[in-house]
A and B are shown apart, each in its own frame.
Chain A
Amino acid sequence: MQRSINDFKSNAAVILKSFNAEYTKTPLRIKVIDAFMVYALLTAAVQFLYMLCVGTFPFNSFLSGFFCSVGFFVLSVSLRMQVDPSSDEFKGLLPERAYADFVLCGCLLFLVVWNFMG
Chain B
Amino acid sequence: MITPVFILLISAALTCQASAQKVLVLLDDPLIRSTHSLYFSDLTSRGYDIFFKSASDRKLQLKDWDEWLYEKLIIFAPSATDFGGDIGEGTLLEFVDAGNDAVIVVDSNPSELMRSTVADIGIDLEPKGTLLTDHVDYVRSSSDGHSLIASEEFVASDAILGNFTDRSPILFKGTAASISPESTLGISILGAPETAFSHFPGKAVIENPLVANGHATLVAGVQARSGARVVVAGSVDMFSNAYFTLAGFETASGNKFSKAGNRAFCDEVTQWAFHQRGVLRVTNLHHSHAGKQEQPEWYRVTDDLQFGLDIHELAGGIWEPYRADDVQVEFVMLDPYVRADLQHNDQGHFHTAFKVPDVYGVYKFVINYCKPGYTPLDLAKRVSVRPFRHNEFERFLVAAYPYYMSVFSTMAAFFLFGFVFLYHK
Contacts and interface: CB of A to CB of B under 8 A. Distances in A.
Interface string A25-39: 000110011001001
A92 interface: no
B160 to A, nearest CB: 57
Contacts of B399: 54, 57-58
Given A28-B424, A110-B411, A69 B397 contact: no
A43 B410 contact: yes
Contacts of A99: 418, 421-422
Nearest to B407: A68
- The residue among A32, A68, A113 with the most chain B CB atoms within 10 A of its own CB is A68
B232 to A, nearest CB: 64
A61 B395 CA distance: 10
A-side binding surface: helix, strand, loop or mixed?
A: helix
B414 interface: yes
Given A58-B397, A118-B396, A47 B406 contact: yes
Interface residues of B, number: 22
A99 B396 CA distance: 33
A106 to B, nearest CB: 5
A64 B407 contact: yes
Interface in B374-425: 395-397, 399-400, 402-404, 406-407, 409-411, 413-414, 417-418, 420-422, 424-425
A23 B413 CA distance: 23
A103 B418 contact: yes
Contact of B410 (A54, A57, A69): A69
Nearest to B395: A118
Contacts of A58: 397, 399-400, 403
Contacts of B425: 29
A94 to B, nearest CB: 12
A61 B404 contact: yes
B413 A61 contact: no
Contact of A69 (B404, B406, B417): B406
A70 to B, nearest CB: 10
Contacts of B413: 36, 39-40, 72
A64 B403 contact: yes
9 contacts: A29-B421, A32-B424, A40-B410, A47-B403, A61-B403, A65-B402, A65-B403, A69-B406, A114-B407
Given A65-B403, A65-B406, A99-B418, 20 more contacts: A29-B425, A32-B417, A32-B420, A43-B406, A46-B406, A47-B402, A47-B406, A58-B397, A58-B399, A61-B404, A62-B400, A65-B404, A66-B406, A68-B406, A72-B410, A99-B422, A103-B418, A110-B414, A114-B407, A118-B396
